[in-house]
Structure 1
């Protein structure tokens, strides 16, 4: 199992390559922040890596459905299905019956295999309490992928308010680190903040709501990015001081 630094190194490597960079070296810093030091040419860039979530209620919802989706994969694999993408639009309820939900999703796919092609196919609406809709399509590569439906309004772009709170927290952390270890930080040419969306259910996100972010603190990061690990898109944010 990868440790914290190895995980951050992996995502930073993927991010830099997505930016078109090939020649670079990733170094473990003496302190935190930054999480990673990237040597790019003659520059040393401190990169703070953080995973960004939309909100806590969504995290709880995903935790519940992740167990359902694992069970669906097991049921479909037993039936010989091995190249399907399934998207479920959930609803937030208490007392979710996980096993029944798993069976409903699997049966909806198995009962409609003959009409599922490479285009998005709507299978069923409101089949069971906790599920609003199930859609599916064939995958080119072998494997079963189950996510939330990207057309659900609950899983739209990442909201500016969530991004703002993450940036402000990281600014406070970096300013404190600079005060405690000024010599170490003086060696860095730039500081970047890299907010990542991991390749789980967040693969549905197509971007952020606004790439101009207004915060209540002076920004100490030279560049701020949001990076999608699975889809490899990058959005650089313009971070401004809120004048109000």
Structure 2
């Protein structure tokens, strides 16, 4: 039987398990296998698998939750909890919209560099590489992307920074080459509570169209801390979240690095 919890389709996602030491691997494997066996299009399967990875920290807070429908829409998942049928709607809050395009370019650059290194010698270069770049690098210019890829490959081969690479750190991985950006935080990188409230309002508008067979519908808002565009250090004016009005039975904000969860409703 083909291994479905594989490196090829999952570990290239930047919300991946190698950055989360507390992955609930067995249920995640089972859920991914169920998604793979579904009639969903491959693109939708990948999206669902990524969403389940984002919910890993949620499962630590609610270990009794058992997902029974992983491929539905509106809400994203249906689960059993305390003898109730729970609909779970998952959404990501973007903290830095301007970083979305940059991050997309970076991901493509990393993937191309991974392919080059794996084709040359996977055994020699396998591992997880965390890179920090010098400032003023333009990742969206096609003419500079090849130069960046060359700098990445050279830095990994020599295990020291080269060209546009400011620093490089390697962690063990037993199978493939994975490249990501170094995790660093600005101490004053706030997530405005208004962004969370605006997201809740948008979901409130869609609530009447959700599956009415569930006993409760929960909204889980995730800050993907492995993403440059989503990470934050604190929620600004957090007390404003206490004023929320919503038809959702429960609303949570979750960050998926340390697994901190805030109950909004």
TM-score between the two structures when normalised by the length of structure 1? 0.66
Q: CA RMSD in A?
A: 4.0
User: Structure 2: how far apart are the matches of 1:62 and 1:55?
Assistant: 11
State yes or no: 1:177 paired with 2:193: no
In structure 2, the CA distance between the partners of 1:156 and 1:233, relative to structure 1 (3 Å rule), is: same
Shift of 1:136: 1.3
Q: Where does the alignment leave 5 or more consecutive residues of structure 1 unmatched?
A: 114-122, 179-183, 240-244
TM-score between the two structures when normalised by the length of structure 2? 0.62
Contact 1:48/1:193 (<8 A) preserved: yes
Contact 1:109/1:136 (<8 A) preserved: no
User: Structure 2: how far apart are the matches of 1:103 and 1:217?
Assistant: 49
Q: Where does the alignment leave 5 or more consecutive residues of structure 2 unmatched?
A: 1-41
Contact 2:74/2:209 (<8 A) preserved: yes
1:193-208 map, 5 Å: 193-197=219-223, 201=227, 205=231
State yes or no: 1:102 paired with 2:149: yes
From the two aligned structures, give the one with the greater strand fraction: 1
Shift of 1:11: 5.0
> C-alpha deviations, 1:99-151, integer Å up to 9, x for none?
100111221232236xxxxxxxxx36xx33xx6x3321232544333222222
> C-alpha deviations, 1:54-101, integer Å up to 9, x for none?
333211001111121112212333253112422234646363511100
From the two aligned structures, give the one with the greater helix fraction: 2
1:59-74 map, 5 Å: 59-74=100-115
User: Structure 2: how far apart are the matches of 1:200 and 1:7?
Assistant: 18
Map of 2:126 onto structure 1:
82
Contact 1:24/1:38 (<8 A) preserved: yes
User: Structure 2: how far apart are the matches of 1:163 and 1:195?
Assistant: 8
The aligned length equals 216
User: Structure 1: how far apart are the matches of 2:233 and 2:191?
Assistant: 7
Contact 1:223/1:236 (<8 A) preserved: no
Aligned partner (choices 150, 162, 165) of residue 198 of structure 2: 165
Map of 2:77 onto structure 1:
36
